Amino acid sequence: MADITQEKIHSIVEKQRAFFRTGTTLDIGWRKQQLKKLAAALEANHEELEKALAQDLGRSSAEAYFCDIGPVIMEANETVHGLSKWARPETHFSGFACFPSIFTKVYKMPYGVSLIISPFNFPIMLSLGVLVAAISGGNTAVIKCSSKSSACTKAVADLIARTFPPEFVTVIDGGHDVADMCLDERFDKIFYTGSPKVGSHVLEKAAKYLTPVALELGGETGNWAVVRKDADLKDAARKIAFFKILNAGQICININQIAVAKEVADAFVEELKKEFERQIGDPLSNKEYPRLITRGAYDKCSNEAEQYRDRIVYGGRGNADTLRYSPTVIYPVNIDEPIVMHELFCPLLPVVPFEDSKIDALMDTIAQREHGLALYLFTKDRKWAKKTMRTQQYGGGCINEVCVHMMVKGVPFNGTGHSGMGAYHGKWGFAEFTHPSTVLFGSTRCNLPLREHPYTEGKLNLIRKFEK
């Protein structure tokens, strides 16, 4: 969409607001039809989307479909299946304090016109996946896609334009200036995926209109993986290597740093190196290995690697022309060094040794930092792992696994603190994009005068009994 102006964005929002007010989106059957149309459009155009992902990020067709396109189709199908149940009004007994008005309904109402601001790293899933939730709730949507993933933004815009009328769903292209133009408009719901710094900015903008906001953020100090001395080192290395290769580390739930028990740290690093070799070989010549999104992202990754050049035990190579930078293991790294104090969002992987007997101190240090979007534990001690997962603060995670928790049907994907607020996927996405409205059905008969003046001692005693 060329020549975006504040006036154009305002016009789009007002047209969507007018369409919402027609009541069309309130019909559950209509919402299901739109979700089916979206899933069909994704399936019909998956090759075009895969080409766009290859152009922007160097993603292979398999990775593009498995991680970006397929999950949205699955999400849409799941939502179609469950929507009638999720949207059904709840009936509650009003309680004796409301007698004789004994029935109350809770309606799941759409917010109205929603704004979805999506990032570059998963430009299909993190725009259209959120759209599934917005549609399920009965909202219209303006999607502001990333200008960094320009081929994907164009492909998404074309797909949406062919599938939905602009008064229902519209895609807008542009940088931070266009995002601010959108945020200057009055939306009824905002969903932003990206960095904590920009997330704070989104909240500030939304405060003007008190617009409810959901944020999915990476976490200021990144996501930890913890490898205990009793862990299956080969299994842990295999899964961690796979995850770090995926999208060249440009994933909000990716492992930012690994804490490994000193007793097994050397052995684990050797297993990790073997797995990188086995899975990707020479990443700079392997066409399946993705690239960093921009020259700026490449330079940032390369420059930070150079600061730890003397401790790079694997990788540390890049090609500025192709924007590929190899998975890079940096070992050993102290827990207080700069590289583990911020989100990396690249294929660098610092390894932090710790004494296994001091695991509680390690987890306390992690807990004192900003909450990550994910936490990954590798250990045979299930009792300790379960206790840790119940007591730490993070978005979601896995025990002896990586990343696939976000693929599970019927569970929320969310963050907390610097990793976000709100949740979506399935019924949680429906809940995120709806407001529960409580309506009591009053009776015109047998109304008791207890709540009315004058308040006698007898009335007060009866009120106390009812409320107890």
């590929």: which residue's tokens? 324
Distance CA(431)–CA(189), nearest Å, equals 12
CA atoms within 13 A on the CB side of 67: 23
Q: How far, CA to CA in Å, does 353 sit from each of 336, 342, 345, 375?
A: 12, 18, 21, 17
Please calculate the CA angle 168-169-171 and round it to the nearest 5 degrees: 155
Note if 252 is an active site residue.
yes
The catalytic position among 216, 275, 304, 432 is 216
How many CB atoms sit inside 10 A of residue 97's CB?
A: 11
Q: Are the beta carbons of 271 and 309 closer than 8 angstroms? A: no
92 alpha-carbon distance from chain centroid: 33
Q: Record the tokens describing residue 72, joined without a space.
A: 């949205």
Active-site residue, selected from the candidate residues 252, 301, 346, 403 = 252
CB 130 within 8 A of CB 108: no
Give SS3 for 21.
helix
- Supply the DSSP string of 204-270, one letter for each residue: HHHHTTT--EEEEE--TT-EEEEE-TTS-HHHHHHHHHHHHHGGGG--TTSEEEEEEEHHHHHHHHH
Catalytic site includes residue 216: yes
Structure tokens at 345: 């969002």
Structure tokens at 230: 């009793």
**Residue 45's Cα: distance from chain center in Å?**
24
Tokens of 328: 């890079």
| Residues annotated as part of the active site | 216, 252
